[in-house]
């Protein structure tokens, strides 16, 4: 049986056309989105950042499928790149 896991992922290549709701719906097939950080935040130049962090409650199998299916795929004009994020510095206390 596939064990439940919680993973924090870094998703880059995002565009302003991708909303938090759309991203949540896109990831719903692979698990439950429990946190979304940085989407729509502005960088130092006032431009929307092209990346976000998501925390996903999933299984190892679904996570592997998520990475295979979405990483490198084109969605809403964006070429997505996914990777495991470093642990959130706020959780290391």
Each residue of 16-49: pLDDT tens digit?
Answer: 899 999 999 999 999 999 999 999 889 899 988 9
Three-class secondary structure of residue 34 per DSSP: strand
CA distance 52 to 24: 12
Alpha helices (runs of H) in 51-90, residue ranges in sequence order: 60-70
Domains for the chain: give ranges and CATH numbers.
Answer: 4-87 (3.30.70.330)
The mean pLDDT value for 72-89 works out to: 88
For residues 32 and 90, is the Cβ–Cβ distance under 8 A? Answer: no
CA distance 33 to 14: 17
pLDDT of residue 93 exceeding 50: no
């Amino acid at each position: 049986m596939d064990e439940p896991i919680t993973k924090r992922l870094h998703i880059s290549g995002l565009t302003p056309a991708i909303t938090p709701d759309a991203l949540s719906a896109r990831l719903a097939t692979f698990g439950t989105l429990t946190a979304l950080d940085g989407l729509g935040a502005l960088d130092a130049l006032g431009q929307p950042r092209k990346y976000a962090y998501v925390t996903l409650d999933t299984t190892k199998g679904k996570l592997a499928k998520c990475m295979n299916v979405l990483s490198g795929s084109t969605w809403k004009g964006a070429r997505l790149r996914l990777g495991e994020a470093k642990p959130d510095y706020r959780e290391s206390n």
